[in-house]
Structure 1
Amino acid sequence: MARLRTSSATTANPLPAVPARAASTAAFSAKMLVWNAMSSIVLMILPISREEELISAIACNISCMRPLLLCICVPVSAAFCRASRALDAVRDTWSEISLMVAASSSTDAACSVAPSLRACAPTDTCSAPTETWSAARLICDSVSLSRARSF
């Protein structure tokens, strides 16, 4: 009778006589495998669960800040647009001034009677302070007029 219950390959692995015993043996082996896996899983989960508390605190802080950030975005965006327009205006002004200076200097050079004398006698070819002031005033007036037209 014992011979019927043992495997032909070895006597160390007896065949169960009852199918219920075979099922319980497989279940016991699976239970031991799961039990060993659970202990290693718990060791990995513990550090993560501590970090989860920190993450939830950070998420709470971020969710509290979100309305503030949304309120700030609109004024910052408007200020950025205004600053961008102001920078464009400054660039345009510098461009116009440099064009006027270039035109003025080329006109002065072309209209000069003796350009070679300019290096030798600067007092003879320099314009009076009132003429310089009126030229500067003319430049400022034309720049302000062109800026007024662009806005």
Structure 2
Amino acid sequence: MQRWIVLGLVAVLLLGAGGAAGLWTYKQNRPDRKWVRLPINPKLPPDQKEEAASQLKEKLLDDKIMTKVADDIHLAEGMKLGSTQEAVALLKQRLFVEVGSVTLPSGETPCLNIGVSGKRKEMDSLGKAPTRILDDVFKILGIKKPADASAPKSF
């Protein structure tokens, strides 16, 4: 009788461990997106917002920009890819620029969401791309990069 109890406990433990491993694998492979928001003029008509998003995406998909981004965030090493060109191709495939909205203290404001999509487990290395791409967006648009708000101010 005791052997059956021990055998039953072993079976339950194996099923529990297998279920936990399966759940963890499932969660790590779920789709995930990381993006940064760039507020835009709320008076623009919706078609101009979409046009601005598509034009910005075209400019960001330039090989020079994507290669620099992939090198700066060490995407090839982080994703275990063979070369920087593979990392650039992956980044181009995963990049998105879309019109969204952000809630600011002054109210709801339209914005451009600039980011990457992928799996949750890839976001450790791929998730650094949106903040790095935002630097290039500022250069493309001719906007001065804002000072870091979290930095302490001198008195």
Q: Tell me, yes or no, whether TM beats 0.5.
A: no
Provide TM-score, normalisation by structure 2.
0.30
Q: Which has the higher strand share?
A: 2
Q: Which has the higher helix share?
A: 1
